Amino acid sequence: MQQLQTLKNDLTQSRIVLEQLGEDIQDGEVLLQIEKFSFTANNVTYGVAGDTIGYWQFFPAIDNSENSWGCIPVWGFAEVVTSNNKAIEQGERVFGYFPPADYLIVKPIKVSSQSFSDGKEHRQELPPVYNNYVRLNSEENYDASMDNIRALLFPLHITAFCLCDALAVQSYDGASQIIIVSASSKTAIGLAQGLAETDDSPKIIGLTSKNNVEFVENLGCYDQVISYDDLGSLSNDSSVMVDMSGNQAVLSSVQSSLGDNMLKCITVGMTHWDKGGSVDEALAQAELQERTEFFFAPAHIQKRVGDWGHDGYAERTNTFMAARAQQSRDWMKVKKISGLENFTDTYQEVVAGNINPNEGIIVDLRND
């Protein structure tokens, strides 16, 4: 078995560990062979928040006696190659949460024709949304040609959907404008597109690097795009800021400029994690701490499933996701990488924030 591991206290450091796949598949368990997975700035956030939120706990790193290495979770597809569970068939495929590795053993519980959860003991206290695996053989209208888009955008645009919903429920806190920091990130794009199709949403302002201004403007979902070098042109209107970056210099500049007109700052991602620090540090450094909060999408998902039921939640999110997937055809190019060994250089580029915003990285682990 191959497993890509990250040094927990320095995300720029990674290694590939090899281990003989000798563990017996216990009664009730299945062995999944991971086919492919996506890797985006969202995965970098998993690493930054690994200790704070528990992302390191999902997939324990092998050959890791000092517990200094971890596996950053990824979203992707796998095939059941061995099944000791009567409810799961060998050969069926699933979509869900995986380590960056070629195999994973899970213990399916809460099995239905559509999905199952991993009941491994170390995952039982973790957010349920991350433990769920979709059984593709039973999925209505499943389209394999959309696999890459699904792996890339599903986890990001579910967060975007939750943000749109949470902001609308609060009537945008009465803000005249929504400021989205790191506007070129895929989650930010989904949020801006969702807000743009909502009739009563405030003005949508995107902040991004100078090099990405043209790309963000061409998306057509932001009312105004401002580079980090031109923050002085930002209108001093009542604002809610949604931060995907964790760049404390930018946040401090905007918060100082807006003062009391900064109604709320919602921290979501850490695309500029190297300019901020951990999630806890980012929140502690915020100038307006009483108006700053961390948004955790799984908690919002659980609330809405309770409010709407599974079917109602699925209906709303599927509509949102279908629209975002269709729009992505206009701006996103999928970049395919074969094998973990060939991915390590690209991993470094993603962690460093050097990937073009219109690229989506897919790592294919199949030999064919």
What value does the mean pLDDT take over residues 347-360?
Answer: 92
Query: Does 242 share its domain with 269?
Result: yes
Structural contact between residues 32 and 94, judged by C-beta atoms closer than 8 angstroms = yes
Other C-beta atoms closer than 10 Å to the C-beta of 30 total 26
Please report, in angstroms and rounded to a whole number, the separation of the first and last CA atoms in the chain.
Answer: 18
Q: Is residue 323 part of a domain?
A: no
Query: Does 223 share its domain with 290?
Result: yes
Q: pLDDT digit string (tens) for 144-180? A: 999 999 999 998 999 999 999 999 999 999 999 999 9
pTM comes to 0.89
What pLDDT score does 20 carry?
83
pLDDT band at 282 (very low <50, low <70, confident <90, very high): very low
Query: Does 181 share its domain with 55?
Result: no
Q: Is residue 150 part of a domain?
A: no
Q: Is residue 80 part of a domain?
A: yes
Compute CA distances 279 → 158, 247, 286, 293, whole Å.
Answer: 20, 11, 11, 10
Query: Does 280 share its domain with 336?
Result: no
Query: Does 122 share its domain with 41?
Result: yes
Query: Does 165 share its domain with 136?
Result: no
Q: Is residue 159 part of a domain?
A: yes
Query: Does 58 share its domain with 170?
Result: no
Tell whether the model's pLDDT for residue 275 goes beyond 50.
no
pLDDT band at 132 (very low <50, low <70, confident <90, very high): very high
Final residue before a domain boundary, out of 298, 319, 351: 298
Q: What is the CATH number of the domain that holds 264?
A: 3.40.50.720
Final residue before a domain boundary, out of 298, 316, 340: 298
Final residue before a domain boundary, out of 298, 315, 340: 298
pLDDT band at 249 (very low <50, low <70, confident <90, very high): confident
Query: Does 170 share its domain with 200?
Result: yes
Tell whether the model's pLDDT for residue 31 goes beyond 60.
yes
Query: Does 246 share its domain with 268?
Result: yes
Structural contact between residues 151 and 137, judged by C-beta atoms closer than 8 angstroms = no
Q: Is residue 96 part of a domain?
A: yes
How far is 198 from 169, CA to CA, in rounded Å? 13
Average pLDDT, the chain: 91
Q: What is the CATH number of the domain that holds 65?
A: 3.90.180.10
State the angle between helix axes of 41-48 and 340-352 in degrees (0 to 180), rounded to the nearest 10: 80
How far is 326 from 149, CA to CA, in rounded Å? 10
Query: Does 138 share its domain with 160?
Result: no
Place of tokens 């502690």: 284
Query: Does 264 share its domain with 172?
Result: yes
Q: pLDDT digit string (tens) for 303-312? A: 999 999 988 9
Q: Is residue 322 part of a domain?
A: no
How far is 171 from 193, CA to CA, in rounded Å? 18
Per the DSSP assignment, residues forming a β-bridge with 6 are 14, 70
Tell whether the model's pLDDT for residue 335 goes beyond 70.
yes
Please name the residues in contact with 151: beta carbons below 8 A apart, sequence gap of 6 or more.
36, 37, 38, 75, 76, 77, 95, 362
Count of the separate structural domains present in the chain? 2
What value does the mean pLDDT take over residues 340-368?
Answer: 92
For the chain, the maximum distance between any two Cα atoms, rounded to a whole number of angstroms, is: 63
How far is 83 from 89, CA to CA, in rounded Å? 7
What pLDDT score does 22 carry?
65
Query: Does 138 share its domain with 244?
Result: no
What pLDDT score does 289 carry?
56
Q: Is residue 132 part of a domain?
A: yes
Q: Is residue 307 part of a domain?
A: no
Domain that holds residue 266: 155-298
